[in-house]
Structure 1
Amino acid sequence: MKKFLQILFYCCSLFLLASCSEDDDLGNIEDIPGLGGDTWVEGPLDRWLYDTLTKPYNIAVKYKWDQFEFELNKTLVPPKEDKVIPVMSAIKKVWIDNYIDEAGLTFFKKYSPKFFILSGSASWNENGTITLGTAEGGRKVVLYLLNDFRTREMPGYVPADSANVKQMFHVIEHEFGHILHQTVMYPQEFKEISTGYYTGNWNNISDYEARQDGFVTAYAMSAYDEDFVEMISMMLVEGQDGFDRIVNSIPPGSSINGMSQADAQARLRQKEAMVVEYFKAVWDIDFYSLQTKTRNTIEQLLY
């Protein structure tokens, strides 16, 4: 009886296999997007990316959608292809060209990330914050919110859009700052400036409140490293006049943590000086010159 059942099972299996092969087209698993089988004919966009970024700087840009490049539990939107060239062209002008002008092509090619992944939307986190960019091991940078990017030369641009554009540059400068300090660490003394004021509750604090405690943004309060690269990013994107306005915007009196206006301003100036010295001592880069060029380029795109 047992032998009969085994034979019957074998015959049924053959029947099912035959039925599938004759009646159902299951397709080729390699044709499922994102699993390695998807291909497309290269067009003008692909050639522009190759000629502008890949060939001269060995930087590849992935704009075709691949969910496996992102966190699988996030709902994201693919980038619009008509946004790719404006975004990457602006990044080249603001970030690549100015760093090369100050530090040289060899420096940039050695330390720049080699792979950009693009998403059209932001990545929302469970605590209500959004991730606008990430860097992985100095090799890959993920950029979000491409579909909201507009400069003054793009249709539909209004002055309010400048915040979205500056945020993109903020992300790039922030992530590149991480790459630099992970290569050569900033001085230990930087961590001592705001010891005791870092908090995991930063997302419930406004930038205005954070500045009263000597931080350039609320996110800078999340950790030493974030504080350092937020200083780099904000100083470059806002320019010296913009950074001075941030420092001078701290009101008289004391913060909710008891820090005085003078103390908060002094801490921001200490951090500024240490960033400038780090760039000069470690990378032989005149930070104020880089800052001026970066801000001027941003203004040309926006105003």
Structure 2
Amino acid sequence: MQHKTYCWLLAILLLAACSKKDDLSGIEDISGLGGDTWTQTQLDTWLYDTLVVPYNIEVRYKWDQFEFELDKTLVPPDESMVIPSMEAVKKVWIDTYVAEAGSTFFIRYSPKFIILCGSASWNTESGTVTLGTAEGGRKIVLYNINNFRTKESDGYQPSDSENVKQIFHVIEHEFGHILHQNILYPATWKDISTGHYTSNWNNVSDADANREGFISAYAMSGYDDDFVETISLMLVNGKAGFDNLVNSIPEGTTTSGMTQAQAQAALRAKETAVVNYFKSAWNMDFYSLQTRTRTAVEQLLY
């Protein structure tokens, strides 16, 4: 009997929760729950004409928290930074690949969505920072857009160039993942630095990573990231930049037993592997692509 009484009481409460007579007209609209509309601006038109029409790439800059990790404190992109950053990405990444491999190749393998975030994403537990991610070869997320500057920007200083190059570093890195996920690099890649990868890469400086035969500390995190970091930094820093990195490795032996000659040999072996991969897998001249990319970077920053 008590159970029957409880069920009747629950039914009454549910029916009373929202009566047809309730006046809901004063409730404020909550945007972001789906179905939102807005008037297209010149920015939307520029993105459509510049990226959607020729390359089928949609840039999403209007804030959607569900595109990011929900436990992070992030800042939306400043709309004034969208065109400068995307114009630079087009010059450094899109135009160079299209010139080298053709628009058919680029449209086929490029991600279809670029999501923009104004701030970097800090990982408090590891002390690292996420500047970009890729998902399934279809979406790339670019962080820290609000700090993007080129030599044409107000307040730009030459010292800003390393920070600005991060966006190119990130997108070349993520596109490298897309390429090797479609055609895997040769198995011999894993033989070059076997035994020197580490999950504690975030505690290693780039200089120390170079002494171990890696192009960056992050490259020490695993085979795949070693491969795409090598691609990315070789493109962004150019042939002269890579040669300078290899030649500047100091003499001596590291705690792991790596000598200067061994570290330099490992980096040169990786350079050769990347060049051969681009030729055999994609019929591309990597050095030509590298020259185009570095020229575009220098025109924007120096």
Shift of 1:199: 0.4
1:49 maps to 2:50: no
The share of aligned pairs that are identical, in percent, is: 63
1:253 maps to 2:252: yes
Shift of 1:165: 1.4
* 2:60 partner amino acid: K
Per the alignment, residue 264 of structure 1 pairs with: 263
Give the paired residue count.
300
Shift of 1:255: 1.3
Inter-partner Cα distance in structure 2 for 1:210 and 1:78: 34
Match 2:38 to one of 37, 40, 50: 40
Shift of 1:7: 6.6
**Counterparts in 2 of 1:21 and 1:236: CA distance versus 1, 3 Å:** same
* 1:206 partner amino acid: S
Shift of 1:108: 0.5
Per the alignment, residue 152 of structure 1 pairs with: 151
* 1:38 partner amino acid: D
Q: Give deviations 1:201-231, integer Å, cap 9, x for gaps.
A: 0000000000101000000000000000000
1:17 maps to 2:38: no
Per the alignment, residue 186 of structure 2 pairs with: 187
Inter-partner Cα distance in structure 1 for 2:233 and 2:8: 74
Inter-partner Cα distance in structure 1 for 2:225 and 2:293: 21
Shift of 1:21: 1.6
Shift of 1:10: 5.6
Per the alignment, residue 81 of structure 2 pairs with: 83
* 2:85 partner amino acid: V
Inter-partner Cα distance in structure 1 for 2:50 and 2:24: 49
Shift of 1:120: 0.4
* 1:267 partner amino acid: A
Inter-partner Cα distance in structure 2 for 1:216 and 1:170: 12
Per the alignment, residue 224 of structure 1 pairs with: 223
Inter-partner Cα distance in structure 2 for 1:8 and 1:215: 69
Q: What SS does the corresponding residue of 1:141 show, helix, strand or coil?
A: strand
1:111 maps to 2:109: yes
Inter-partner Cα distance in structure 1 for 2:24 and 2:44: 39
Instruction: State the TM-score, normalized to the length of structure 2.
Output: 0.94
Inter-partner Cα distance in structure 2 for 1:92 and 1:154: 17
1:99 maps to 2:106: no
Structure 1 residues 278-293: aligned runs within 5 Å? 278-293=277-292
Q: Give deviations 1:84-120, integer Å, cap 9, x for gaps.
A: 0000000000000000000011100110011000000
Inter-partner Cα distance in structure 2 for 1:275 and 1:107: 18
Shift of 1:18: 3.6
**Counterparts in 2 of 1:203 and 1:24: CA distance versus 1, 3 Å:** same
Inter-partner Cα distance in structure 2 for 1:15 and 1:203: 57
**Counterparts in 2 of 1:4 and 1:268: CA distance versus 1, 3 Å:** closer
Shift of 1:16: 4.6
Inter-partner Cα distance in structure 1 for 2:180 and 2:146: 30
* 1:156 partner amino acid: G
Q: Give deviations 1:45-86, integer Å, cap 9, x for gaps.
A: 000000000000000000000000011111110000000000
Shift of 1:24: 7.4
* 2:39 partner amino acid: V
* 2:200 partner amino acid: N
Q: What SS does the corresponding residue of 1:21 show, helix, strand or coil?
A: coil
Per the alignment, residue 197 of structure 1 pairs with: 196
Shift of 1:32: 3.2
Structure 1 residues 162-181: aligned runs within 5 Å? 162-181=161-180
Shift of 1:36: 1.5
Inter-partner Cα distance in structure 1 for 2:119 and 2:98: 30
Q: Give deviations 1:135-189, integer Å, cap 9, x for gaps.
A: 1111000000000100000111011211121110000100000000000000010
Inter-partner Cα distance in structure 2 for 1:277 and 1:117: 32
Q: What SS does the corresponding residue of 2:150 show, helix, strand or coil?
A: coil
Inter-partner Cα distance in structure 1 for 2:7 and 2:297: 74
- Consecutive unaligned residues of structure 1, counting only runs of 5 or more, are none
Shift of 1:6: 6.9
Instruction: State the TM-score, normalized to the length of structure 1.
Output: 0.94
